[in-house]
Structure 1
Amino acid sequence: MENSGTRSQHLAESPYLLDNASKEASARFVALSAAFDPGTIRHLEDLGVRPGWHCLEVGGGGGSIATWLAAHIAPAGYLVVTDIDPRFLEPMEISNTEVRLHNIATDPLPEAAFDLVHARLVLMHVPEREKALARMAAALRPGGWLIDEEIDISVYPDPALIPEEVLSKTFAAMLRIMGDRGVDHKFGRRLFGQLRALGLVDVAAEGRTFLWSSGTPGISLLRANYEQLHDAVIGAGYVTEQEFEQDLAGLDDPAFMMPSPVLWAAWGRRP
Structure 2
Amino acid sequence: MQTAPAQEIYGERLFSTRQDTERERLDLLAQTWDPATTAHLRTLPLAEARSILEIGPGAGSIADLLAESAPHAEVTALDRDTTLLRLRNPRVRPLQADITDAGLELGAFDLIHARCVLMHLRDHEAVLARLVSWLRPGGHLVLSDTAELGFPHSSNADYRATMQALSQVITTHLGSDQNHGLGHPARFRQHDLTDIRLTTALPTVTGDAPISLWWQLTLEQARPELIRTGLVDAPALDRALYHMAQPTTHELSIALLTCSGRKRQDQNQPTG
| Deviation string, structure 1 residues 185-213 (Cα, Å, up to 9, x no partner) | 21100000001111111112122212221
1:186 is aligned with what amino acid? N
How do residues 240-255 of structure 1 correspond to structure 2 at under 5 angstroms?
Answer: 240-255=233-248
1:38 is aligned with what amino acid? P
Could you tell me which residue of structure 2 aligns to residue 239 of structure 1?
A: 232
How do residues 42-81 of structure 1 correspond to structure 2 at under 5 angstroms?
Answer: 42-50=39-47, 53-74=50-71, 76-81=72-77
2:242 is aligned with what amino acid? A
CA distance in 2, matches of 1:113, 1:172: 40
Contact 1:109 1:139 in 2 (8 A): no
Q: After TM superposition, where is structure 1 displaced by more than 4 Å over at least 4 residues in a row?
A: none
CA distance in 2, matches of 1:84, 1:171: 27
Secondary structure of the 1:205 match is strand
Could you tell me which residue of structure 2 aligns to residue 119 of structure 1?
A: 114
Could you tell me which residue of structure 1 aligns to residue 127 of structure 2?
A: 132
Establish whether residue 203 from structure 1 lines up as the match of residue 200 from structure 2.
no
Q: Are the structure 2 counterparts of residues 149 and 159 from structure 1 closer, same or farther at C-alpha, using a change threshold of 3 Å?
A: closer
Deviation at 1:92, TM superposition (A): 2.5
Higher mean displacement: 14-23 or 175-184: 14-23
CA distance in 2, matches of 1:262, 1:107: 30
CA distance in 1, matches of 2:104, 2:44: 22
TM-score (normalizing by structure 1): 0.86
1:53 is aligned with what amino acid? R
Deviation at 1:237, TM superposition (A): 3.5
CA distance in 2, matches of 1:139, 1:70: 19
1:23 is aligned with what amino acid? D
CA distance in 2, matches of 1:246, 1:156: 15
Unaligned runs of 5+ in 2: 1-6, 265-272
Deviation at 1:15, TM superposition (A): 4.2
| Deviation string, structure 1 residues 73-103 (Cα, Å, up to 9, x no partner) | 23x31010111111012x5264212111122
CA distance in 1, matches of 2:233, 2:215: 18
Deviation at 1:54, TM superposition (A): 0.9
Contact 2:150 2:251 in 1 (8 A): no
Percent of paired sites with the same residue: 26
CA distance in 1, matches of 2:247, 2:90: 44
Establish whether residue 172 from structure 1 lines up as the match of residue 168 from structure 2.
no
Q: Are the structure 2 counterparts of residues 196 and 112 from structure 1 closer, same or farther at C-alpha, using a change threshold of 3 Å?
A: farther
How do residues 2-21 of structure 1 correspond to structure 2 at under 5 angstroms?
Answer: 14-16=9-11, 17-21=14-18
Could you tell me which residue of structure 2 aligns to residue 3 of structure 1?
A: none
CA distance in 2, matches of 1:33, 1:81: 15
CA distance in 2, matches of 1:22, 1:196: 39
Could you tell me which residue of structure 1 aligns to residue 94 of structure 2?
A: 99
Count how many residue pairs are aligned between Structure 1 and Structure 2. Answer: 255
CA distance in 2, matches of 1:213, 1:157: 17
TM-score (normalizing by structure 2): 0.86
Unaligned runs of 5+ in 1: 1-11
Deviation at 1:122, TM superposition (A): 0.6
CA distance in 1, matches of 2:192, 2:36: 25
